[in-house]
Amino acid sequence: MSPATSPASPHHRPPDGRTPFIVGLGVAQLCSWGTLYYSFPQIAQAMGAELGWSKAELYGAATLGLAFAGLAAYPVGAGIDRGHGRAIMAGGSVLAGLLFVLWSQAGSMMVFYAAVAGLGAMQAATLYEPAFAVVARRAGALQARPGITALTLWGGFSSTVFVPLIQFLIDTVGWRDTLLVLGAVNVLVCATANFLSVDSSRDTPAPRVADDTVPRRSPVGEALRQPAFWALALAFTAYSAMFSGFTFHVYPLLVERGFDLASVVGAIAIIGPAQVAGRVAVSVFAPRAPVRAVGSVIVAVFPLAFLALEFMPPDFRWVALFAIGFGAVNGIITIVRGLIVPELITRRAYGAVNGALSVPATLSRALAPAGLAALWTATGSYDAVLFAVIALALVLALGFWTAALVARPVED
């Protein structure tokens, strides 16, 4: 029996949510998302009040940070494919901690922008994409589903834990000391968990072809020659722009459409738990369903949900239903994003191929909030913004369906 077809040994049994490997990575994901991603709006609000900096100046740093995350995605993925996951993820958490310390000392725009840009690059080294890549190396690309699903459940609770914690710290000790605490969390918790969890010596051996003397083309090069890769790139770039732009504008959009503030806040609060519920539902009711089938259904929900929002009466019951549906499909699409490449494109070089897909998606996530803000300024109404979001949702659906249709059978 060839190595490519031999059953997994107990040593390489696919990890699930109960294994120490996934628990360790999950703790790191919860804390990394809570500190690196969800902390910015709260810290920026406190900084602006103290330093007198405008929102444009503050959020320009966030856009720069997301751009750096996009630029770092491919080299990070390629490094993990070469077995450097421990150094990348643990080292990224240490560097993130030091950058939080630098941010805490910011009195000039230059220091602030340097710290936030660096933290953006560390997102590429510590959040879902690198974590999914190390799970794929440990379990094998086709056996990574339980582990990836479990990590999304850990990450799904990060805003629930850290948003109130950060607000408490800001109210108690101020934003500068809050950043020092966030830095300590990255060094003491995230770096330690990543270092102890990621061990390339325990990875599943890569499958070999029958004749190892036959040279093989670069898996990234092979991926770039496939129409399905470009269809997925279009779909996920549209998704990132849609999600980021809508997330930044959902509050004023709903207010403009006549929803009272209590309804708006309540609906936004529902989205996070609904994401977790969607991920749980997939793991319980469709644990072995083809990812292309799950994704093909899920992407159809986005344009329908936003179209319903366009005609929705300003009543909490309706917007709550929207928030449940929107949150659930967002939670599921994260799992689809982590598993679709081995099913449609290639089972080799998981980190590098996913990193290549992430570059345009992350850049669109950085630019979309400002682009939709400019659209609102030009039209004076969130109607145009909502129609732009619907258009992006349609591009997501058409791109994903195209990828599912044109993908050729995947070989090891």
Residues of the chain with CATH 1.20.1250.20: 15-202, 219-406
So what's the pLDDT on residue 3? Answer: 38
Write out pLDDT tens, residues 388-406. Answer: 999 999 999 999 999 999 9
Kindly indicate the confidence band of residue 217, based on its pLDDT and cuts at 50, 70 and 90. Answer: low
Write out pLDDT tens, residues 374-390. Answer: 898 889 888 999 999 99
Rg (CA), the chain: 21
Contact call for residues 240 and 362 (beta carbons, < 8 A): yes
Interval 335-360 mean pLDDT: 88
Interval 193-210 mean pLDDT: 78
Share of the chain above pLDDT 90, in %: 51
Write out pLDDT tens, residues 93-107. Answer: 999 999 999 999 999
Secondary structure in 3-state letters for the chain: CCCCCCCCCHHHCCCCCCCHHHHHHHHHHHHHHHHHHCCHHHHHHHHHHHHCCCHHHHHHHHHHHHHHHHHHHHHHHHHHHCCCHHHHHHHHHHHHHHHHHHHHCCCCHHHHHHHHHHHHHHHHHHCHHHHHHHHHHHHCHHHCHHHHHHHHHHHHCHHHHHHHHHHHHHHHHCHHHHHHHHHHHHHHHHHHHHHHHCCHHHCCCCCCCCCCCCCCCCHHHHHHCCHHHHHHHHHHHHHHHHHHHHHHHHHHHHHHCCCCHHHHHHHHHHHHHHHHHHHHHHHHHCCCCCHHHHHHHHHHHHHHHHHHHHCCCCCHHHHHHHHHHHHHHHHHHHHHHHHHHHHHCCCCCHHHHHHHHHHHHHHHHHHHHHHHHHHHHHHCCHHHHHHHHHHHHHHHHHHHHHHHHHCCCCCC
Residue 212 confidence (pLDDT) above 60: no
So what's the pLDDT on residue 17? Answer: 56
So what's the pLDDT on residue 412? Answer: 57
Residue 74 confidence (pLDDT) above 50: yes
Write out pLDDT tens, residues 99-136. Answer: 999 999 999 999 999 999 999 999 999 999 999 999 98
Question: Which architecture, in CATH terms, is 15-202?
Answer: Up-down Bundle (1.20)
Contact call for residues 8 and 163 (beta carbons, < 8 A): no
Write out pLDDT tens, residues 278-292. Answer: 989 988 888 888 999
Residue 14 confidence (pLDDT) above 70: no
Homologous superfamily assigned to 219-406: MFS general substrate transporter like domains (1.20.1250.20)
Interval 266-276 mean pLDDT: 86
Rounded mean pLDDT of the chain? 88
So what's the pLDDT on residue 16? Answer: 56
Residue 208 confidence (pLDDT) above 80: no
Residue 206 confidence (pLDDT) above 80: no
Residue 2 confidence (pLDDT) above 60: no
Kindly indicate the confidence band of residue 169, based on its pLDDT and cuts at 50, 70 and 90. Answer: very high
CA distance 271 to 328: 8
So what's the pLDDT on residue 5? Answer: 39
Residue 265 confidence (pLDDT) above 70: yes
Distance of CA 188 to the CA centre of its chain: 23
**Higher pLDDT among residues 180 and 18, named by residue:** 180
